Structures are given as structure tokens and as C-alpha cells.
Amino acid sequence: MFALGESRWALHSFRVCRFYLVVSLAFISGCVRPSAVARYAESAGRTTAEFPVLARDIHSSCLRFEAYKAQRAGSWYEDAALRHACASRDTAVSALITVNRVLTSYLAALGALADDRVASADWAIDRLSSALVQKAGLDDAQVGAVERLAKYVSSATLEGYRRRQLAHAIQSRNADVQAVTLALSGVISHDFRAALDVESRALSSFYRSAVAENSAREPLAAILVREQHDRRAVELAEKRDAITAYLRALENVRAGHQKLYDNSRHINAAQVSADLLKAADELDSIARQLERAFK
């Protein structure tokens, strides 16, 4: 009797294992081509890796604003005073960079799985804390999504996940990817754009006053001031465009991962692979734009 029960359990275990094997193999060989997934994940990771320089410039934007304000008031200032005024912005930006790093690390792990490689360790992810993530302006649900994604990346590294876990990664982490990309988009769209708008107004006010006060006495100097204003206004416009481009990249990552999730078991391989490669091309273009904007 015991032997019969043991046989049934063995048969059941075999069927369960066979089911998951079939699902994984269907995703890998009969559905989405791993090369397309790897290319999409690599391009997405390369683009999100450009985020820190964009984010740090938002802290610099605060420093520039404070400098304009002090100069307009005719008062002496030192860098330490500017940094003190922008300390909270610096903290929020650093936290957001950490959140973005979790997304980048997940995309790197996804690309490694698709390429049948073991994901590389990112030890900074292991030191992630809820208190730090909350400083990025995320709510509790968004913080939870970041932490789960970070935990998955650590597990994928420590346990040596390979291609057979690709389908499981996409199916189990899709909700977190959606939540993290939306959280990043919300903060960037509102706070980053608002910061550049504030700087833009301070820029215009500062240079307008400088021209008004000196154009009659020193017309040549006034012309040079106008030219400097125009150059800085162009730089700000490029940074606004870079923010818009990065928001488009996050939407691209979100939509691409959702497509993988929706079609992880039964899809038109050629069409989905083509969509992923198209998304990768757009992400590569955005990465180049970000490089140009902050070189």
C-alpha cells in the first residue's frame, strides 16, 4: 500500500515538473526568442543606466536656482550655503537613483537569463532599505514593489538562475515592474519638470534684470548677457527633452515587459520578437539622446 502511494506521488511530481518544463520550454523555444528578450533587456538596462546623470542634474538645478536668487539679491554666497538649501533635494534624488538602480539590475538579470548566463551581483541592492526608498517620494505599495524586485535580483544572483527561470521571472515580477516604472514616471514627470520650470523662471528673471540695468551704459555687455541667457535656455530645453525621453523609455520598458507577461505561454513568436526588437531600437535611441544632453 505504501509503495503504491509512493508511486502515485512520484507520478504526480513527474507530471508537475513536466508541466513547468513544458511551459518554460514553450516560452523559450516555441514562443518568444531568447535573443529578442536579451536584446530588449540589454537596451532597456543600458537606457535606465543613464538615469543617474539626469537625476543628479535636478539637484544641480536647485543649486543653480539658489545661486541666481542670491546673485539677484546682491548678496555674497558660498557653495556650502547652496548645498544646505538643496539638501532635501539631494536626498530625494539619491533615493530615486537607488530605486532606478533596482530596475536596471532586474533588467540585467532578465537579459542574463534570456542569454542563459548567471546574473552578476549588485551588492548595493543588498543594502537597500525601506527608509531610503521612501525618501524618493514613493508610497508604501510602491516601496514594497521596489523591495520585492530587489529581493528577486539578489535571489537570481545567489541561486544561479539560468534560462529555465526566464518565464517564471517575467510572470512573477511583472506587477512589480509595472509598479516601479509607474512610480519613477510619477516622480520624474512632476518633480523633475517642476524643478526645471523653477530654474527657468529664475534664469529669465536674473538675465532680464542684468540687461535692463546695464544695456544703456554697456550695450556690448548687454549683448553678451543675452547670448549667455540664450545658451543656458537652450541647455534647459535639452534637459526638458531628456526628461520626456526618459519617461518614454520607462513606458517602453513597462509595455515591453507587459507584452512578455501577456504572451509568455502562447504567442505569435515572430510578431512579439519583432515588437521587442523595435522597442530595443527606440531604447537605444533614447540612451544616445540622454548621453548628448548631459555630456
SS3 readout for 28-54: HHHHCCHHHHHHHHHHHHHHHCCHHHH
Q: What is the pTM of this model?
A: 0.80
Residue 219's pLDDT band (boundaries 50, 70, 90)? Answer: low
Other CB atoms within a 10 A radius of the CB of residue 1 amount to: 5
Closest CA to 183 of 234, 137, 151, 126: 137
Under the banding of pLDDT at 50, 70 and 90, the label for residue 129 is: confident
Position 20 in a domain: no
Q: What share of the chain has pLDDT > 90, as a percent?
A: 44
- Cell, residue 200: 527657468
Is 26 within a domain?
no
What pLDDT was estimated at residue 286? 93
Is pLDDT above 80 for 25?
no
pLDDT at 194: 94
Report helix angle 140-158 to 166-187, nearest 10: 140
Task: State how many domains the chain has.
Answer: 1
Structure confidence at residue 78 (pLDDT): 81
* Contacts of 221 by beta carbon, 8 Å cutoff, 6+ apart: 214
| Residue 186 is assigned to a structural domain of this protein | yes
47: in domain: yes
What average pLDDT does range 178-198 have in this prediction?
A: 95
CA dihedral of 185, 200, 73, 90, whole degrees rounded to 10: 20
Task: Decide if 273 is inside a domain.
Answer: yes
Residue 214 lies in a domain: yes
Q: Which distant-in-sequence residues (6+ apart) come within 8 Å of 17 by Cβ?
A: none
Q: What rounded mean pLDDT belongs to the chain?
A: 81
Q: List the domain range (segments joined by +) for residue 132.
A: 32-293
Residue 53: which pLDDT band, with cuts at 50, 70 and 90?
Answer: very high
Question: Residues 90-96: what's their mean pLDDT?
Answer: 94
- The Cα 33–Cα 255 span in angstroms is 18
Indicate whether 10 belongs to any domain: no
| 100 within domain boundaries | yes
Is the pLDDT confidence value at 103 over 80? yes
Q: Which residue has the cell 537596451?
A: 43
